[in-house]
A and B are shown apart, each in its own frame.
Chain A
Amino acid sequence: MTKKSIQTIKMGLMAISLFALVACSSTSDTEEGAMGEEGSSGSGSSTASSARTNAGSTSGQLTQEEIRAENALRQTVFYFDFDIAEFKPADRETLTFHARHLAANSGERIRLEGHADERGTREYNLALGERRANSILNYLIVNGASRSQIEVVSYGEEQPAQAGQSDNAYSRNRRVEVVAR
């Protein structure tokens, strides 16, 4: 897979979908607010502040919500804790934006690629990678995406993002990648 081309496509789609997202997010503002509070992670707050600067310097047409959506869609890798198949609560808000984006763009297709670190047997890790991808799949569907838009595949421990036996490598390898199709 060429990551660059995917990103280009994604940016294009993002521009188209932003209008749709505005409509979508305006209806669920309260819910969104609650999400933001409980899922506020370090990375979330920093992207928000950098986005603010951007908003000021550009045309000023993007609302805070739109900028958050744009940033959220840029995050395509979600990391998992050891032995855990459920995505981190801190990723919930970002995933909500992904779900809305899919809901608003019924033609868009994604693939959720689940991965595990190398500890544990290969077959178990293959199953674990699928369960991790499914935890995101289910959340996306509950939040408006259609099942037919999403393909799930697990690579288990076969395609590590980083080689080696360090904790750092392991934490980078326990992941689900959202790949545009």
Chain B
Amino acid sequence: MNLRKSLTIILVGSLYLMSFSAYAELSIQITQGSDNPIPIAVVPFSWQGNGVLSEDISQIVMNDLEQVGEFSPLSRSNMLSMPSEEQEVFYRDWRILAQDYLLVGKIDRTSGSQLVQVQYEFFDINREIKLAGEVLTGSVTQLRDIAHEISNVVFEQVTGTRGAFTSEILYVVADYVNPERTNFRLEKADYDGQRAQILLESVEPIMSPSWSPTGRDVAYVSFETDLPRIYIQNIATGERRQITNYPNLNSSPEFSPDGTKLAMVLSKDGSPDIYVQDLTTNQLTRITDHPLIDTEPSWTADSKSIVFMSERTGQPQIYQIDLGASSFEVERLTYDCFQCLNGMFLPDGVNLVHVRRETRQDPDYQIAVLNIETLRVISLTSTSLDESPSIAPNGSMIMYATKFNGRGVLDAVSIDGMVRFRLPSTQGDVREPAWSPFLN
């Protein structure tokens, strides 16, 4: 038997299997795409090694690009040729198919090791130039990471914005075992819900996961002692320490972007107020002092101010407090809603993502963005139980928790409201997404 021919059969067979398995585990559902997506061809990467690779890199890149909505990847079955490197590329083949961009690549195994080398090249069809290309080396278990890295390059080349495909998410799952028992899990996964890992399990509630700016630690609230207390856990080692043990409510931990402080909510002095704990000296500073509820702190990018929700004018509204001055000055940011809660700035420092209830009559809570300079409000969601917005590190999308068919799910929406995708829960109620900072 002709060796080359049998190899080809194996290769074709494995490609089929690979794409099948990639579809089978694809958990994201794109619920709404962009009006005018950019056509892009992602050719299956050729594989020079033996056996079947566990991941289909080009399929992961296609999924990545499709999810964020700006792109419309060409179906493989419509491709006229399947080049794997520059010398095999004929721009005409892709112009006929009305493609703007082309990604090709090949995967080699370093003989006698578990390392693979992934070479990719990215082309602009209209200008007939190569925009990017490199060889990435990693172990066979890192194919998914390599794929997401390639997606980052493609995204940045086309949009000018840094890609967030290598970012991760934290979230809480509540599994109702029976009426007396709910299992709570803190999980971490890739931004697309893949490769989920359990960081903590408890029969008591877990709340408010928050990333440290390095992505190494997570702060959260656990009721494991029967009382809500704040913990910080190293994600890689699982090592953790209890940060607070103040009377009453201890909640809402948020690392400052410079990593030196942890904002939190304590009601040890009566009602919930905002405090900041210095993570090196452990010194605790009270930031707000009001007899009504102050909660949901979030930091501005310079670590100098905190945005928070307060009931000081009767209903929840969003305020900002400057930590630099000797006396803390409070500025009100929201006015035109019955309740505005859980505010946080986009990286631009001008657009405030928040949860909004427009009127007293309709208790619908939705995600919106307020431009604090123009005061224009854009509503991003239209369901009624939307909460816990979290911003992608590049500011392009917001992930939030909502209900679908009575179950808690995570949805994501682009900042212009054009693109939406959903991470369906496999089991239980999924809630409180926290999108990581850039991790590399």
Contact = CB atoms under 8 A, between A and B. Distances in A.
Interface of A: 82-83, 118-124, 126-128, 130-131, 152-156, 158-159, 163-165
A91 to B, nearest CB: 22
Nearest to A85: B293
A158 B406 contact: no
18 contacts: A120-B341, A120-B387, A122-B208, A123-B251, A123-B295, A123-B296, A123-B342, A124-B296, A124-B316, A124-B342, A126-B249, A127-B265, A128-B293, A130-B248, A155-B223, A159-B182, A163-B176, A164-B406
Given A130-B272, A158-B205, A165-B385, A124 B341 contact: yes
A123 B208 contact: yes
A153 B226 contact: yes
Contacts of B355: 121
Interface in B139-183: 174, 176, 182
Nearest to B293: A127
B228 A119 contact: no
B196 to A, nearest CB: 21
A123 B341 CA distance: 9
Contacts of A163: 176, 406
A127 B248 contact: no
A123 B403 contact: no
Contacts of B388: 121-122
Q: Is the interface of A mostly helix, strand, loop or mixed?
A: mixed
B385 A119 contact: yes
A82 B432 CA distance: 23
B341 A130 contact: no
B272 A121 contact: no
Contacts of B208: 122-123
Given A82-B363, A121-B387, A153-B226, A127 B272 contact: yes
Given A154-B249, A158-B207, A159-B205, A124 B385 contact: no
Contacts of A127: 249, 265, 267, 271-272, 293, 295
A136 to B, nearest CB: 14
A159 B208 CA distance: 15
Nearest to A162: B179
Interface string B253-283: 0000000000001010001100000000000
A155 B203 CA distance: 13
B298 to A, nearest CB: 11
B385 A121 contact: no
Interface string B39-52: 00000000000000
Given A152-B248, A155-B205, A155-B223, A124 B406 contact: no
Most buried by B among A120, A124, A152, A159: A124
A119 B365 contact: yes
A40 B228 CA distance: 36
Given A119-B363, A119-B365, A153 B403 contact: no
Given A124-B295, A153-B227, 18 more contacts: A120-B339, A120-B363, A121-B309, A122-B388, A122-B432, A123-B265, A124-B296, A124-B342, A126-B207, A126-B251, A127-B267, A130-B267, A154-B228, A159-B182, A159-B205, A163-B406, A164-B406, A165-B403
Contacts of A131: 271, 293
Contacts of A83: 363
B170 to A, nearest CB: 14
A129 to B, nearest CB: 9
Interface string B103-122: 00000000000000000000
A154 B295 CA distance: 14
A95 to B, nearest CB: 20
A135 to B, nearest CB: 12
A165 B383 CA distance: 13
B67 interface: no
Interface in B371-408: 385, 387-388, 403, 406
B365 A153 contact: no
A130 B363 CA distance: 21
B300 interface: no
A159 B272 CA distance: 20
B296 A121 contact: yes
Contact of B406 (A82, A121, A155, A165): A165
B57 to A, nearest CB: 38
A171 to B, nearest CB: 13
A120 B365 contact: yes
Interface in B33-90: none
B273 to A, nearest CB: 10
B212 interface: no
Contacts of B251: 123, 126
Contacts of A119: 363, 365, 385
Contacts of A120: 339, 341, 357, 363, 365, 387
A121 B401 CA distance: 10
Given A121-B365, A153-B228, A158-B207, A130 B249 contact: yes
A119 B360 CA distance: 13
B365 A123 contact: no
Nearest to B294: A127
A163 B428 CA distance: 12
Contacts of B271: 127, 131
Contacts of B293: 124, 127-128, 131
Interface string B275-308: 0000000000000000001011000000000000
Nearest to B221: A126
Given A123-B295, A130-B272, A165-B406, A118 B385 contact: yes
